[in-house]
Amino acid sequence: MTTTLRPTSPLNEAADGARSRTYEVCDNGRSVGTLELGTDPRFGPASGQLRHLEIAEGDRRRGRGTVAVLAAEEVLRGWGCTRITTTVPAEAPTGIALATAVGYTPGGHNMVKELTEPPDLPTGSSARPLTDAEYPQWLAAERAGYIQSWLERDVTREQAENKADADYAKLLPNGPATPGTVLRVLTHDGVDRGNIWVSVSKDHGYADGAYVFAVLVEPEHRGQGHGRTLLQIAERETLAAGLNRLGLHVFATNAPAIRLYESLGYRYTHTHLTKSLL
């Protein structure tokens, strides 16, 4: 068996170095699937993406997908990429198994919850808006934590900082006044315990629902159930905006957060995996 990639489109190259190309997966010259590669717009041309891989039903479980993935990595090395990422739907466990078998590491998961009724907050807990005066300090801390989370996941500082600045410019162009932005502080027994950032804007396209961008419980108040309360605040804000789905991302190494989300009824939708090409 000789599995190869045969280009089906010209190499698309942009002025900023971004690249993309589609391929047929061939076995001894016979087409058995399709594959798409590109560079990651979030991190620049040194970060590659396996955007799509599909092997025809009758040709699966014969190692062709594995060889195609390894061939794709060689293409990306030729483009100068030092890492590769891919996203696999939760309903495709064989895709996750294939990726992990050739050295990919789960970096994070997308999860979602269907909402029906607004939950009651614990006695003594309430939510208030983050004030304009508090926003600069909140943003500085949020940005620093976000950058650090990527530095711990095989991303250079330059890539992490560029991604952070691009994301905040897109998602918070007008700070707390950005339409569809919900920034809330959790107060319990008169003391601020943490905060949450939720988008209820349909412009962000998160499956016609709201999306949790950040949850923070102050270190001295952790382990007291305030993370759960913050998610309940997010559910209430989502339903108040006329939406009934709430999504979020969690890093695969954040076991306490994963346990919390599972206990609240969130289900997995996608897993994001990465591999160094050095």
pLDDT tens string 206-228: 667 899 999 999 999 999 999 99
Domains of the chain and any CATH numbers: 3-81 (3.40.630.30), 113-272 (3.40.630.30)
Q: Are 198 and 237 contacting, i.e. CB atoms less than 8 angstroms apart?
A: yes
The answer to whether 197 and 248 have CB atoms below 8 angstroms apart is: no
Q: What is d(CA 54, CA 88) in angstroms, rounded to the nearest whole number?
A: 12
46-71 confidence digits (pLDDT tens): 999 999 999 999 999 889 999 999 99
Q: Compute CA distances 276 → 11, 46, 106, 153, 164, whole Å.
A: 23, 11, 12, 10, 21
User: Does residue 204 contact residue 164 with C-beta atoms inside 8 Å?
Assistant: no
CA distances from 47 to 20, 51, 78, 79, 110 (A): 12, 12, 12, 10, 20
Q: Hey, what are 251's tokens?
A: 């890093």
- List Cβ neighbours of 242 (8 Å cut-off, separation of 6 or more): none
3-state SS assignment for residue 146: helix
pLDDT of residue 204: 62
**pLDDT < 70 stretches in the chain:** 1, 203-207
